């Protein structure tokens, strides 16, 4: 399958300065001086990041720089100890919220390695997730028929085979199918803040395009996206407003799409950095 | 073992394995059973002598043959010792401290309305979706005239009588159908079978009796409408089901609602007889008091259940969901005597806190072309210990017999245990016997995925456990399956920290 559209034309790079000025809305996410340990080892060391509604931020960095740690801390994984710092999400103290509450309030993490849950039907799982959120919002839970209607519509976004809905969650899915299943979950849950942790890893070009289209279709003025990635490649399809370079637990550089291209060409240049530090 | 037989055996024994996940599943779900009513009972003083047996038989106005049968069992029992081969540990039982007869309790001294019933118990009923009138009956309230359980029962009884089905208490059967009782009692589980079955034979209190005449398909699931009436069957229950040639019956035993019972020791016997071409489906949901979170109290449930496919093409199927009792010792079995007969065993056993279960089945293939299927799902949480113990026996003349066994264990936390003991005896070279076993655990990662999608840890566990048991629930009658699913969720409440 060939997709002709070039996302560049669809979504030209926006002058981030100008866009920033136009975006006078309150931040979706505000991370201040975040310090995080994993098993007493310091991973994040004073990270600051502010994201406004509608913005797409790419976070790049070498292995072990703390990218996945940041994603997991935002989602509320307990194995990460926040030793210092604050995270505000839509004006609420995110660190005070339980994992499930964060999800119901609109924080979504697309996993780097989506885990299998044998015996649990994918559809049942998706319905349980959506209904948990709906009941939190005081909405009526969807019944099986309404949910089926919804999912049939959403599944088109990710060009996923309907058969996968009737299998156990991620069980026996190919790498690409797992990632598409993550995007499907995102499409169903319609989060305010989506964190995509290396969603591009292990995808061939076709799969990357499908997943990217899925992500692009979910871009909205009310939704912020954090794209955690190793490679510039996905940014050709999902064009970010900002690119940040994370190294040694801090954001060391920020810029726009051009920064990602520069990194691609020249590398992270960390050797220079360590010499200068 | 003959070389010609295809024998695939693969099993694991997991002993209190330390599992890396740190679910910290200190399982604190308390049994939603909080009241005791002091009811004046007419009961025999504690103790077991020949005199006790004579008294029980006299109170029940039993015919001579039954008294003699009981006495013979008692004589035998005196020579037996409690079996010690299972994985179960419990303090010694003093059989002289037990009262062996209590008259059915009067409802008049019970609570007068639901307001007097422990709200926690009501909450459980609510979660299980038990209708309000049934809730009253379960909590021991004398039901008002609007809900006349007797008349409901009578309506259905009339329908059954029309097709010649006999469905009554064991005591009634002894009075009204002594010939049938005499003919079949002890033919499947002999008096001499084992310590607990022998004890039951001597002192059994009451139970159920079912007779399905030749060619009759029983028009309804037996027992769902009668479970209210069946709550007072006592601690030594005895059930006998006879399905004549070409007949069919589906029998449901037990109740998802937590049952109150002050008797710690339960030793029941169930016998099933399926004649040529007959089919018996026997489904159980067992939810006796499991003891508190420290393992104190709880019912000891020692059950002997066995069916015989007496004629050709007969079929017996056991399905059980075991969530209650401190101790469960139970092996519903099938003797496949008739040619082409088949036996099935589908089981879910859940142990939480300090519960112990040693359960499984025996499939004895005697006839030719006999088939048996065993699917066992064990779930262990907290300090729960769950053992599957099964015997597949292929006799010399059982040509072309086949067995398939699958034993799956699901572990939660790092203090629970799963054990699998499959025994296989094959004496016929044309037999095919297969055994598969898996062990899995609910991982932190799986729970995190669910929670990240907004599903609470408890709901996640319930989703995963229900997925694990799906195959078994499919075998239960619809209404029972829905209840079983809810029951499992409730039994696992608080199982994740």
Cα-Cα-Cα-Cα torsion B286, B288, B292, B298, nearest 10 degrees, comes to: -120
| Beta pairing class for A250-255 and A242-247 | antiparallel
Residue count (chain B)? 497
Q: Is B411 exposed, middle or buried (0-12, 13-18, 19+ CB in 10 A)?
A: buried
Q: With an 8 Å Cβ cutoff, are B449 and A133 in contact? A: no
What would the two tokens of residue A202 be?
A: 């292990």
Please name the residue ranges forming H helices in B148-240: 149-162, 170-176, 178-184, 195-203
Q: Which member of B452, B455, B459 has the closest CB to residue A75?
A: B452
Q: Which member of A77, A103, A124 has the closest CB to residue B453?
A: A103
What would the two tokens of residue B65 be?
A: 């043959």
CA-to-CA distance for B379 and B349, rounded, in angstroms?
Answer: 6
What would the two tokens of residue B371 be?
A: 């088939």
Q: With an 8 Å Cβ cutoff, are A168 and B451 in contact? A: no
Decide: B141 and B108 in contact? Cβ < 8 Å.
Answer: no
The string of DSSP letters for B317-360 reads: EEEEEE---SEEEE--EEEE-STT-EEEEEEEEEE-TT-EEEEE
What would the two tokens of residue A140 be?
A: 């009526």
Mind telling me how many Å the CA of A38 is from chain B's nearest CA?
16
Torsion-angle region of A90 (φ positive above 0: left; ψ -120 to 50: alpha; else: beta): left
Q: With an 8 Å Cβ cutoff, are A133 and B454 in contact? A: yes
Q: With an 8 Å Cβ cutoff, are A132 and B453 in contact? A: yes
Q: What is the rounded average pLDDT for all residues in chain A?
A: 86
Decide: B250 and B278 in contact? Cβ < 8 Å.
Answer: no
Beta-bridge partners for A57: A226, A242
CA-to-CA distance for A25 and B139, rounded, in angstroms?
Answer: 59
- B489 contacts in chain A (CB < 8 Å): none
- B450 contacts in chain A (CB < 8 Å): 117, 125, 129
CA-to-CA distance for B246 and B367, rounded, in angstroms?
Answer: 18
Decide: B249 and B274 in contact? Cβ < 8 Å.
Answer: no
3-state DSSP of B442-467 = CCHHHHHHHHHCCCCHHHHHHHHHHH
Q: With an 8 Å Cβ cutoff, are A125 and B454 in contact? A: no
Residue B320 has φ and ψ, to the nearest 5°, of: -135, 145
CA-to-CA distance for A164 and A174, rounded, in angstroms?
Answer: 11
Residue of chain A whose Cα is closest to the Cα of B445:
A115
Q: Which member of A103, A117, A169 has the closest CB to residue B454?
A: A103
Q: With an 8 Å Cβ cutoff, are B468 and A115 in contact? A: no
A contact test, residue of B408, B440, B454 with most A CBs within 10 A: B454
Q: With an 8 Å Cβ cutoff, are B455 and A128 in contact? A: yes
Decide: B315 and B279 in contact? Cβ < 8 Å.
Answer: yes
Q: Which of A101, A20, A83 is nearest to A47 (CA)?
A: A83
Full strand arrangement of the beta sheet holding A92-93: A41-51, A29-38, A80-89, A92-93
Label residue A53 by pLDDT band (50, 70, 90): very high
The string of pLDDT tens digits covering residues A236-261 is 999 999 999 999 899 999 999 889 88
Give pLDDT, residue B24. 31
More confident residue, A202 or B63: B63
CA-to-CA distance for B239 and B198, rounded, in angstroms?
Answer: 14
Q: With an 8 Å Cβ cutoff, are A117 and B451 in contact? A: no
Q: With an 8 Å Cβ cutoff, are A128 and B459 in contact? A: yes
Give pLDDT, residue B148. 36
Question: Is A2 a residue whose pLDDT tops 70?
Answer: no
CA-to-CA distance for A45 and A236, rounded, in angstroms?
Answer: 30
What would the two tokens of residue A31 be?
A: 């991370």
The string of DSSP letters for B130-159 reads: --HHHHHHHTTPPP-TTS-HHHHHHHHHHH
3-state DSSP of B67-97 = HHHHHHHHHHHHCCCCCCCCCCCCCCCCHHH
Q: Which of B32, B69, B30 is nearest to B174 (CA)?
A: B69
Give pLDDT, residue B139. 55
Task: State the first-to-last Cα distance of chain B, in angstroms, to the nearest integer.
Answer: 48
Decide: A196 and A118 in contact? Cβ < 8 Å.
Answer: no
A contact test, residue of B348, B442, B446, B452 with most A CBs within 10 A: B452
Q: Which of A266, A262, A215 is nearest to A239 (CA)?
A: A215
Mind telling me how many Å the CA of B483 is from chain A's nearest CA?
18
The string of DSSP letters for chain A reads: ------HHHHSPPP-HHHHHHH--SPPSEEEEEEEEEETTEEEEEEEEEEE-TT-EEEEE--TTSSHHHHHHHHHT-TTEEEEEEEEEETTEEGGGS-HHHHHHHTEEEE-SSPPPEEEEEHHHHHHHHHHHHHHHTTPPPP-HHHHHHHHHHHGGGGT--GGGGGSEETTT--HHHHHHHHHHHHHHH--SEEEEESTTTT--HHHHHHHHHHHHHT-BTTBEEEEEES-SGGGGTS--SEEEEEETTEEEEEE-HHHHHHHHHH---HHHHHHH-
Question: Is A35 a residue whose pLDDT tops 90?
Answer: yes
Sequence-separated (6 or more) residues with CB below 8 Å from residue A24: none
Residue of chain B whose Cα is closest to the Cα of A136:
B454
- B440 contacts in chain A (CB < 8 Å): 118
pLDDT in tens, chain B (497 residues): 333 332 222 222 222 222 222 233 323 333 333 333 333 346 677 888 898 899 888 888 899 999 999 999 999 999 988 888 878 888 888 888 887 876 655 444 555 666 666 666 666 666 666 666 566 655 554 443 333 344 445 567 778 889 999 988 888 899 999 999 999 999 999 999 999 999 999 999 888 899 999 999 998 888 644 443 334 445 788 999 999 999 999 998 876 655 555 557 888 999 999 999 999 999 988 887 777 777 777 788 899 999 999 999 999 999 999 888 888 899 999 999 999 999 999 999 988 888 888 999 999 999 999 999 999 999 998 888 899 999 999 999 999 999 999 999 999 888 888 999 999 999 999 999 999 998 888 888 899 999 999 999 888 988 898 888 988 988 888 777 887 888 887 777 766 64
What would the two tokens of residue B245 be?
A: 């040639």
Residue owning tokens 């840890």 = B457
CA-to-CA distance for B284 and B322, rounded, in angstroms?
Answer: 8
The string of DSSP letters for A63-121 reads: TTSSHHHHHHHHHT-TTEEEEEEEEEETTEEGGGS-HHHHHHHTEEEE-SSPPPEEEEE
Q: Which member of B445, B456, B463 has the closest CB to residue A100?
A: B456
What would the two tokens of residue A111 be?
A: 């996993």
Give pLDDT, residue B476. 85
CA-to-CA distance for B288 and B295, rounded, in angstroms?
Answer: 14
Give pLDDT, residue B36. 33
> Any idea what DSSP says for residue B224?
T
Mind telling me how many Å the CA of A16 is from chain B's nearest CA?
31
Residue of chain B whose Cα is closest to the Cα of A186:
B453
Beta-bridge partners for B291: none
Sequence-separated (6 or more) residues with CB below 8 Å from residue B233: B169, B205, B206, B207, B208
Q: Which member of A98, A124, A185 has the closest CB to residue B453?
A: A185
Q: Which member of A115, A133, A189 has the closest CB to residue B445?
A: A115
- A132 contacts in chain B (CB < 8 Å): 453-456, 459
Give pLDDT, residue B23. 30
**Helix, strand, or coil (residue B128):** helix
Give pLDDT, residue B161. 87
- A77 contacts in chain B (CB < 8 Å): 448
Q: Which member of A99, A129, A168 has the closest CB to residue B448?
A: A99
Mind telling me how many Å the CA of A115 is from chain B's nearest CA?
7
Q: Which member of A76, A111, A125 has the closest CB to residue B463?
A: A125
CA-to-CA distance for A13 and A258, rounded, in angstroms?
Answer: 10
Decide: A11 and A218 in contact? Cβ < 8 Å.
Answer: no
Question: Is A66 a residue whose pLDDT tops 70?
Answer: yes
Mind telling me how many Å the CA of A261 is from chain B's nearest CA?
33
Q: With an 8 Å Cβ cutoff, are A128 and B456 in contact? A: no
Q: What number is the average pLDDT over the span A222-230?
A: 93
Give pLDDT, residue A108. 96
Give pLDDT, residue B107. 45
Q: Which member of A77, A129, A168 has the closest CB to residue B448?
A: A77
């Amino acid at each position: 399958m060939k997709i002709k559209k070039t996302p560049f034309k669809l979504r030209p790079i926006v002058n981030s300065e100008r866009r920033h000025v136009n975006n006078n809305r309150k931040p979706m996410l505000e991370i201040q001086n975040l310090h995080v340990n994993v098993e007493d080892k310091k991973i994040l060391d004073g990270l600051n990041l502010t994201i406004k509604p509608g913005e797409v931020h790419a976070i790049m960095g070498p292995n072990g720089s703390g990218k996945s740690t940041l994603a997991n801390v935002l989602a509320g994984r307990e194995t990460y100890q926040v030793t210092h710092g604050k995270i505000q999400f839509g004006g609420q103290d995110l660190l005070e919220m339980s994992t499930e509450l964060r999800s119901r309030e609109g924080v979504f993490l697309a996993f780097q390695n989506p885990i299998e849950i044998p015996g649990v039907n994918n559809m049942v799982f998706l319905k349980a997730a959506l209904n948990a959120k709906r009941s939190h919002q005081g909405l009526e839970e969807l019944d099986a028929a309404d949910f089926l209607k919804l999912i049939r519509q959403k599944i088109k976004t990710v060009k996923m085979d309907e058969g996968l809905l009737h299998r156990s969650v991620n069980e026996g899915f190919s790498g690409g199918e797992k990632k598409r299943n993550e995007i499907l979950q995102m499409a169903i849950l319609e989060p305010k803040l989506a964190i995509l942790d290396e969603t591009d890893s292990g995808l061939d070009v076709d799969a990357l395009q499908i997943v990217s289209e899925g992500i692009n279709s979910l871009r909205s003025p009310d939704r912020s996206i954090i794209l955690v990635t190793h490679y510039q490649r996905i940014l050709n399809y999902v064009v970010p407003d900002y690119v940040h370079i994370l190294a040694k637990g801090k954001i060391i550089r920020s810029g726009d799409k051009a920064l990602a291209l520069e990194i691609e060409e020249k590398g992270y240049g960390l050797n220079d950095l360590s010499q200068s530090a | 073992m003959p070389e010609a037989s295809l024998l695939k055996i693969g099993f694991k024994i997991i002993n209190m394995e330390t599992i890396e996940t740190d679910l910290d599943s200190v399982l604190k779900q308390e049994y939603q059973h909080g009241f005791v009513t002091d009811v004046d009972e007419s009961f025999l003083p504690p103790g077991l002598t020949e005199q006790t047996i004579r008294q029980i038989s006299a109170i029940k106005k039993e015919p001579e043959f039954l008294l003699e049968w009981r006495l013979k069992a008692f004589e035998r029992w005196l020579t037996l010792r409690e079996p010690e081969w299972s994985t179960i540990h419990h303090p010694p039982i003093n059989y002289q401290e037990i009262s062996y007869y209590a008259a059915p309790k009067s409802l008049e001294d019970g609570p007068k309305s639901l307001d007097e019933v422990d709200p926690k118990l009501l909450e459980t009923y609510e979660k299980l979706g038990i209708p309000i009138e049934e809730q009253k009956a379960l909590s021991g309230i004398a039901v008002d005239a609007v809900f006349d359980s007797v008349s409901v029962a009578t309506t259905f009884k009339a329908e059954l009588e029309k097709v010649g089905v006999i469905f009554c208490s064991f005591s009634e059967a002894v009075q009204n159908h002594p010939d049938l009782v005499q003919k079949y009692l002890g033919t499947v589980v002999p008096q001499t079978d084992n310590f607990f079955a022998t004890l039951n034979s001597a002192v059994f209190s009451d139970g159920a009796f079912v007779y399905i005449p030749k060619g009759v398909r029983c028009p309804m699931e037996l027992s769902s409408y009668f479970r209210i009436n069946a709550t007072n069957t006592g601690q030594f229950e005895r059930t006998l089901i006879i399905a004549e040639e070409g007949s069919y019956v589906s029998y449901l035993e037990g109740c998802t609602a937590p049952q109150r019972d002050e008797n710690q020791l339960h030793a029941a016997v169930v016998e099933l007889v399926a004649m040529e071409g007959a089919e018996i489906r026997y489904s159980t949901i067992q939810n006796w008091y499991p003891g508190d979170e420290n393992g104190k109290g709880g019912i000891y449930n020692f059950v002997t259940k066995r069916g015989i496919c007496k004629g050709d093409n007969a079929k017996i199927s056991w399905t059980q969901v075991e969530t209650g009792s401190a101790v469960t010792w139970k092996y519903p079995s099938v003797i496949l005597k008739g040619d082409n007969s088949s036996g099935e065993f589908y089981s879910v056993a859940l142990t939480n806190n300090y519960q112990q279960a040693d359960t499984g089945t025996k499939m004895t293939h005697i006839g030719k072309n006999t088939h048996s299927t065993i699917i066992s799902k064990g779930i262990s949480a907290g300090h729960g210990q769950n053992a599957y113990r099964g015997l597949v026996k292929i006799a010399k003349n059982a040509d072309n017999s086949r067995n398939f066994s699958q034993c799956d264990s699901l572990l939660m936390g790092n203090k629970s245990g799963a054990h699998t003991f499959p025994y296989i005896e094959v004496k016929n070279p044309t037999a095919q016997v297969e055994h598969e076993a898996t062990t899995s655990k609910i991982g932190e990662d799986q729970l995190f995925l669910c929670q990240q999608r907004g599903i609470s840890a408890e709901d996640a566990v319930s989703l995963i456990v229900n997925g694990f048991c799906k195959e078994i629930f499919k075998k239960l009658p619809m209404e029972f399956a829905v209840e079983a699913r809810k029951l499992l969720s409730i039994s696992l409440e608080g199982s994740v920290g």
